[in-house]
Amino acid sequence: MGQEQRTARLTVLIDPKKKAAFEALCREEDLTPSQVVRQMIRDYIEERLGSDWRDEVLREE
């Protein structure tokens, strides 16, 4: 399995109150919002593509 490259940026528009709540919850778990969002994206991809999604998505071309 290859190393993920964290070079792409994703801009998300969110209500300021939800952003503040999200950031507070992340702090409580000693996680950055980026860490949590990356995990949510991995979980979503796995839910849609199955547990072997890394072979398809992270394959070096």
> Which pLDDT belongs to residue 1?
44
> Which pLDDT belongs to residue 54?
82
- Total count of domains within the chain: 1
> Which pLDDT belongs to residue 58?
79
> 40 in a domain, yes or no?
yes
pLDDT along the chain (61 residues), means of 10: 69 97 98 96 91 80 56
> Which pLDDT belongs to residue 56?
79
Q: Within a 13 Å sphere around the CA of 55, how many CA atoms are in the beta-carbon half?
A: 4
Domain ranges, residue 38: 16-57
> 24 in a domain, yes or no?
yes
Phi, psi of 19 (to 5 degrees): -60, -45
